Amino acid sequence: MKKIIIAIDGYSSCGKSTLAKGLAKALHLAYLDTGAMYRAVTLYLLNNNIDYNDLDAVAAALQQVSIHFERIHGQNHTFLNDVDVETEIRSMHVSEHVSPVSAISMVRKAMVQQQKAFGKRRNIVADGRDIGTVVFPDADLKIFLVADADVRTSRRHLELASKGIDAEWDDIYKNLTERDQIDSSRADSPLRKADDATVLDNTLLSEEEQLAITLEWVRLVRSEE
Ligand code: DC
């Protein structure tokens, strides 16, 4: 069967990673969580007290950052300089700083280069903000996920609670909407729907329903080839 790339973009906490993981499992594809990479860089800057407005310091920091992924008990774990940071990168503290950090062109350039290398073998599903527009403009299927902000906040609240991370609903709502604003308005590769992406509004859909719909889209894409 022909190797494929599936690109999933959308606003914060739209369920992109849930959908990407579901598709990866069903179709035996590798999963690339590009948001985790920006989160790992942000964590490095915060842990080392590096001011991200100081571009020389950010450039030096990027030389010290190495990110890789490992599967542990069936779960994707992000490693920063060989340390498992999967839980830390999801904290509210990182969420509060990741959008300005990911708006820095130098950071984007370094991450996109690694992401493109990851996609060389194809057979991957990647999620983020610029996957269909910049990272994999030749993806076989591009999905742009949207969902109501209140529903997204409640989902993120539950997700954080399940990881033992305590956060207020209002703080999560504020963080999501602020990140949407920064991610969509930055100068370098802002979040936007690729012209050839299909929009999926999953506000009223269960995980199973959104997976079933998109698996059908994959089937159609494959039958066209
Ligand atoms: O998907 P996420 O919420 O874990 O992503 C965290 C942040 O990283 C998001 O607010 C914007 C940034 N990001 C990006 O700029 N480009 C990507 N491809 C993925 C994430």
Structural domains of the chain in order of their starting residue, each with its CATH number: 5-220 (3.40.50.300)
Q: Is 76 in the pocket of ligand 1 (CB under 6 A)?
A: no
Distances, alpha carbon 11 to alpha carbons 33, 97, 149, 198, in Å: 14, 16, 9, 14
Q: Is 33 in the pocket of ligand 1 (CB under 6 A)?
A: no
How far, in Å, from the CA of 225 to the mean position of ligand 1? 31
How far, in Å, from the CA of 209 to the mean position of ligand 1? 24
pTM for the full model? 0.96
- In eight-state DSSP terms, residue 204 is T
In angstroms, rounded to a whole number, what is the distance separating the alpha carbons of residues 66 and 44?
Answer: 10
In angstroms, rounded to a whole number, what is the distance separating the alpha carbons of residues 19 and 214?
Answer: 9
Are the C-beta atoms of residues 2 and 193 closer than 8 Å to each other? no
Using the structure block, give the residue that is written with the tokens 């599936």.
6
Q: Is 133 in the pocket of ligand 1 (CB under 6 A)?
A: no
List the pLDDT tens digit at each of the 225 positions of the chain: 778 999 999 999 999 999 999 999 999 999 999 999 999 999 999 999 999 999 999 999 999 999 999 999 988 999 999 999 999 999 999 999 999 999 999 999 999 999 999 999 889 999 999 999 999 999 999 999 999 999 999 999 998 898 888 899 999 999 999 999 999 999 999 999 999 999 999 999 999 999 999 999 999 998 886
Q: Is 142 in the pocket of ligand 1 (CB under 6 A)?
A: no
Report pLDDT for 3: 86
Report pLDDT for 116: 97
In angstroms, rounded to a whole number, what is the distance separating the alpha carbons of residues 74 and 68?
Answer: 16
Report which protein residue has its CA nearest ligand 1's atom 18: 128
**Encoding tokens for residue 22?**
């579901």
How far, in Å, from the CA of 33 to the mean position of ligand 1? 9
CA dihedral 165→167→172→178, nearest 10 degrees, is: -90
